[in-house]
A and B are shown apart, each in its own frame.
Chain A
C-alpha cells in the first residue's frame, strides 16, 4: 500500500492556509457561520428534478483581477483560481515572489466543461436528417470557441492558478474523481515530509451546476432527485446532489512556516489511500478499516469528517464502518455542501483544520443519529473520502 505518515525524524507538516468558496459562502468566517447555523444552500428547482448546491456568488475580480483571465476560464476554473487565491492570502504568501516562485502545486481536477448549445445543436440537426459525412466536423469547426478547449483541459486549472497568482514551482494535476483529492494531499505531504519540497498548494474545484456532468452521473443513476435530505437519510432515496466548491490548502514544513512566522491551523499527520475492488459487499468497508489502521495512533479527542456521497451501496458500507468507530462524532460534508467530487476531500481537510483551529467541531445536521453532538475541542480529526464508485482515502489532521 502506498501511504504517507510522518515517521520519526521526518518533517512535521502544517496547514498554514485555507481557501474556501462554496455554496455556503466565501472565506472561512462565512463558511463557519453557516455551519454553526446549520444553513444549507440547495437549489431544488433550477435543475429539477435534480438538486444542486449552487456557488454562493463571489466577486471574481478580487482574486482574478484581469477580465481577460476570467474569460479564458469556465466556471470550475474560476472557482478554483479564486479559492486558491484565498488560500494564498490565508497563508500570508499572496504576492510573495520568493515563496510563490518555488511553491509546489498538486491539483485534483475533473474537466471537460462543455458548450451545451453546441452539443444540442449538432444532435438536433442530426435528428432532423443532417447526415453528411463531415457534418460533425464542420459544425465543431464553426461553433466551438477556440478557447473552450483550454477551459476543458484538466491541467489548466493549475495552469490558470499559476498564471493568475504567479506560481512557478512544480505543477501536477491528478484526475480520478474523489480519491484524486486525497492523492493530491498524499503526494504533497510525502514530498514535504521527505524534504523534497518545503511548501505546497493543494486542492481542487468543482462546478456542480453542469448538466453535462449530470448526464454522466445519471448514466449510473447517481443523481439525487426531487427532494433534498441529509446524506445519512437517503438510504431509500439514494444519490448525491452536486455541489459547487473550491477548496485549497497551503501545506508547509514546520521549519519553513516558523522561519517566516506563519501560524498553523493544524498539522497534517498522515494521508493514506487505496482502491478497493468493490466486487463483494464489505470490500469497501474492509479497505476503510485497513486505512484506519494505518493512521497514526489516535489518543486525543477525535472526530470524523466524511465526504460520504449519499450514493449506494458506498454510503451504506461507509455507515457500517463508522458504526464500528461510534466513539468518533461524525460530520458529513455532503449534507452541508453537496458533492464536489475531486474537491470533497480537500474540503474535508479544510474543515478539519478549521474546526481544530476554532476549538470546536461544527454541529451535526442529521435526523438519523449518525451524527452526534460533540463537547469540547477536537484535537484529532480523521478525514474520510470514499468515492461514489471507486477509490478510498483518509487523512489525519491534528492540533499542533
Chain B
C-alpha cells in the first residue's frame, strides 16, 4: 500500500494508459518486441526524392496513410492512433469524453511544399511574384489549407475527438517537447486542478525542407549506407542524429483517482525538472551547468538521490557534442555512479522523433520498468573512449530497474528530465 501523496505533500501522479508509434511499428507490443530485439526502424527515404540531399535516410512512419498528405496531417493521425491505444488501456471516461485537459507537443506548423507548389501551378504563368501567389490564395478554394495549417489545428482535432476538457495546449520546447507535455500534465494534477490529463507528443515532419534545415546546421548523420547503422549514440564514429517520426500518448492520473476507479497503474511520474540554457541557440553551455541543474532539479522534485536511479534513458542523439555533454553532465550529478548505471539510447533504433521524443522515450522507460529489461543501444561497436557510461550495447539486458531518469535536451536551451518509477517513492 502506498501513499496518495508524495514526500512534498502533492498528489502522486501515475500513468494508467500508454500508446506509441515509431518507425518500428504501431503499438506497445510491436515496438517493445522490436526494441529489445535490437531492430532499427531507420531506412532510406522513399516518400520523396532524395537526390541532392546529404542525408537520405530517416525513421519514417510509412505505414500510416494520410490523404492529402502533409506533415501536420501525419502528426495528427499518429497522435490520434496513439491516443486511442492509451485510452483503450486506461479505460478512463467515456468514448469522446476524457475527464481532463490535453497537453500536446507538436512540431511547429507551416504551409508545406505540396500546397505551395499547388499555388505556384495555379498562377498559370511561368513568371510570377509572391504577390501573385497571395492574390490567388483567397476565394475559398484553399480554405481547408487555412484550417490544416493553424498551429492549434492538431490539438483542436484531438480535443474534439477525445472530448478533453478546456483549452488544449499546443506546445513546443524543441527536442524536449514530449517531456514538457508530461510535465504540464503532472503540474496540473499536483495543483489539484484535475484528476487526469492526456499528454500527447507527435512529430511527422520528415519532409525535404525539414531535412535540409537540419542538414544545413550539420546536425544530421550522413552515414546513409546502410541506413540501419547511421544512428550511433556514444560511439566514436557517431556523426549526428537521424530524423524520425513517431508519437506517444500517456494518460496521467492522480494515484488517488486511479486507485479509486480500480485502474491498473503502469508507473509513476516521480519527478520533472526543467532548466533553460541561455548560452547559445543550438549549443549547450560548455560548463554544462544548465543540464546539471536540470537533472538536480528533477532529483529534488522526485525527492530522490542519485543512488536511487538505476537506469538512464539518455537523450543520446548521437551528435558528437550532445553525447559528450550528456556524459560530462551526468558524471557531475552522479559521480562514479555515472559509470555504473546502465545507460541506453532508444534513438539508436527509432531515430530522433524530435517533438515526440520525450514522450516516446518516457513510454519506453515505463516499459523497461514493466519488463525489467533494458533495450540496447545498437550500432555500439566502436565505443567513444571518453564516454565511460555503462552503455547497454547491442543486446538487451535484464536488470533490476526501479527508477529511470529520462533526459531531453533541445535547441533554444531547452532541457527537461523526468524520473519514472514502478511504485510511488
Contact = CB atoms under 8 A, between A and B. Distances in A.
Nearest to A184: B169
Given A163-B278, A168-B275, A175-B171, A155 B130 contact: no
Interface residues of B, number: 86
A190 B290 CA distance: 25
Interface stretch (A121-129, A351-359, A361-369): A121-129
B146 A154 contact: no
B134 interface: yes
B216 A171 contact: no
B216 A144 contact: yes
Contacts of B288: none
A233 interface: no
Contacts of B290: 168
Contacts of A190: 191, 193
Contact of B134 (A2, A187, A215): A215
Interface string A159-202: 11011001111111111110110110011001100101000000
B49 A134 contact: yes
Interface string B42-69: 0000000111111000000000000000
Contact of B151 (A110, A127, A144): A110
B287 interface: no
Interface stretch (A252-260, A262-270, A388-396): A388-396
Contacts of A60: none
A114 B177 CA distance: 23
A138 B211 CA distance: 12
B170 A215 contact: no
A212 B151 CA distance: 15
A273 interface: yes
A111 B110 contact: yes
Contact of A173 (B143, B146, B171, B217): B171
B416 to A, nearest CB: 9
Contacts of A112: 108-110
A127 B120 contact: yes
A141 B167 contact: no
A156 B49 contact: no
A152 B174 CA distance: 12
A146 interface: yes
Contacts of B169: 174, 176, 180, 183, 187
Interface stretch (A36-44, A51-59, A218-226): A218-226
Contact of B276 (A169, A179, A222): A169
B159 A275 contact: yes
A280 interface: no
B138 A219 contact: yes
13 contacts: A123-B133, A134-B51, A141-B54, A150-B411, A154-B108, A155-B410, A168-B276, A168-B290, A174-B169, A182-B167, A216-B145, A216-B149, A275-B156
Interface of B: 49-54, 101, 106, 108-111, 113, 116-117, 119-121, 123, 125-131, 133-134, 137-140, 142-147, 149-152, 155-156, 159-160, 165-174, 180, 184, 187-188, 191, 193-194, 208-209, 212-217, 274-282, 290, 410-414
Given A155-B172, A170-B276, A277-B160, 6 more contacts: A2-B165, A123-B117, A174-B171, A220-B143, A221-B139, A390-B150
